[in-house]
Structure 1
């Protein structure tokens, strides 16, 4: 996460196909750490914890008509992240030949059967605000949601649990690190070149982890970090 003005800013991985929407550029202006890549599932991954599928009102309806919607729901639920769907605009107000009952049924299926929360926005700017709020809330609450009261039973799960206490490390990155290095000790002793060889690791993520491990507790506390 980027550190600016004594605040810790969220990290958001963005599918490169979202570039034409203008959303990634606006998020950068809000000082999010943005990583662009081709994503197999979802359009945004926030803090390595939440995966967001963004659909305009027309895309939602077309994906329903073409049979893509529920396949995407399956992959969202199958992912290692908390899934949510953002619908930009009113899906009941499009020019497509589909009944209100079909749209309503699809919305209920997504939220109830697939248990994927739906968030509605009115514009690109509103979507940016929604993503920003999700990122901030997740950043403030992830310690409570993911670590408090959770007691993994296997050694491998305990190792993943340990690694997720590091900055910008979620379940996916933790698994990649363990697969690459084999042990916690190997990860903690690795240099930047070795860490860069791990999928998903970038220089900013490594810098934050190194600062976390090597920084003086008193100095970090005095800076609000």
Structure 2
């Protein structure tokens, strides 16, 4: 463990865990030794390492649930705008996506939006033990060469001001649903503005879009509710 912590200006390594995260991960971290771990409510992410790395952790089921209820892009937006570098760890096996009824194009579109649109690295983990390893290795890599730079000059992500810099990513996500092509996806976004509002729209509002009928609405809801 000392090899992981050798570049830290704090000894032992301080880890803050959001109090909603499972205790099993805290136990795995404590098994590594030389860590100061505390639990409290975090405004951004689920884990913070020495104020140098923030980790947003999601199981595949929670990842898909957060898409439906509109949490995902709010959380990712906070992570992207934070001065501390952040990563997203997606925990679970590929087969877990099948239980969500999200199509592969929809999932790929969302992952592309996060990694390309928001500039947030996405790392895959099969389980808790691998998640802990990835977090510690991520911290090690981040502080390996330029620890002083990150501490003295926090990275700030700058974006060109646009009406909606993620518009095309959102289009790609909606295109993954049955019966919704590019034109209908654009119409939905122009009407509702955000993916969250599209997912939470009422039947009559949804059917007000030209070219969308009751069958498309039913298929859309069937995927979101499962």
Normalised by the length of structure 1, the TM-score is: 0.58
The alpha-carbon distance between structure 1 residues 25 and 124, as it changes in their structure 2 partners (threshold 3 A), is same
For residue 192 of structure 2, what is the aligned residue in structure 1? none
For residue 49 of structure 1, what is the aligned residue in structure 2? 52
For residue 66 of structure 1, what is the aligned residue in structure 2? 69
For residue 108 of structure 2, what is the aligned residue in structure 1? 104
* Separation in structure 2 between the aligned mates of residue 93 and residue 58 of structure 1, nearest angstrom: 7
* Separation in structure 2 between the aligned mates of residue 39 and residue 96 of structure 1, nearest angstrom: 27
What is the RMSD computed on CA atoms of the aligned residues?
2.8
Deviation, 1:92, is 6.0
* Separation in structure 2 between the aligned mates of residue 129 and residue 84 of structure 1, nearest angstrom: 14
Normalised by the length of structure 2, the TM-score is: 0.58
For residue 27 of structure 1, what is the aligned residue in structure 2? 29
* Separation in structure 1 between the aligned mates of residue 127 and residue 140 of structure 2, nearest angstrom: 20
* Separation in structure 2 between the aligned mates of residue 91 and residue 11 of structure 1, nearest angstrom: 32
* Separation in structure 1 between the aligned mates of residue 145 and residue 131 of structure 2, nearest angstrom: 21
Deviation, 1:65, is 2.0
Indicate the SS of the match to 1:18: coil
Deviation, 1:108, is 0.3
Which runs of structure 2 are paired with 1:157-176 in the superposition (5 Å)? 161=152
For residue 223 of structure 1, what is the aligned residue in structure 2? none
Q: Answer yes or no: is the 8 Å Cα contact 2:51–2:84 preserved in 1.
A: yes
The alpha-carbon distance between structure 1 residues 145 and 92, as it changes in their structure 2 partners (threshold 3 A), is farther
* Separation in structure 2 between the aligned mates of residue 124 and residue 65 of structure 1, nearest angstrom: 24
The alpha-carbon distance between structure 1 residues 74 and 96, as it changes in their structure 2 partners (threshold 3 A), is same
For residue 11 of structure 1, what is the aligned residue in structure 2? 14
Query: Which piece of structure 1 moves more, 134-143 or 22-31?
Result: 134-143
Q: Answer yes or no: is the 8 Å Cα contact 1:91–1:103 preserved in 2.
A: no
The counterpart of 1:78, out of the listed 77, 81, 85, is 81
* Separation in structure 2 between the aligned mates of residue 133 and residue 100 of structure 1, nearest angstrom: 29
The alpha-carbon distance between structure 1 residues 18 and 64, as it changes in their structure 2 partners (threshold 3 A), is same
Indicate the SS of the match to 2:100: coil
The alpha-carbon distance between structure 1 residues 74 and 145, as it changes in their structure 2 partners (threshold 3 A), is same
Deviations 1:160-218 (A, max 9, x none): x4xx9xxxxx99xxxxxxxxxxxxxxxxxxxxxxxxxxxxxxxxxxxxxxxxxxxxxxx
For residue 87 of structure 1, what is the aligned residue in structure 2? 90
Listed as ranges, the gaps of 5+ residues in structure 1 are: 148-160, 165-169, 172-225
Indicate the SS of the match to 2:22: helix
Deviation, 1:91, is 5.4
Q: Answer yes or no: is the 8 Å Cα contact 1:92–1:103 preserved in 2.
A: no
Deviation, 1:132, is 1.6
Q: Answer yes or no: is the 8 Å Cα contact 1:10–1:139 preserved in 2.
A: no
The counterpart of 2:127, out of the listed 123, 126, 132, is 123
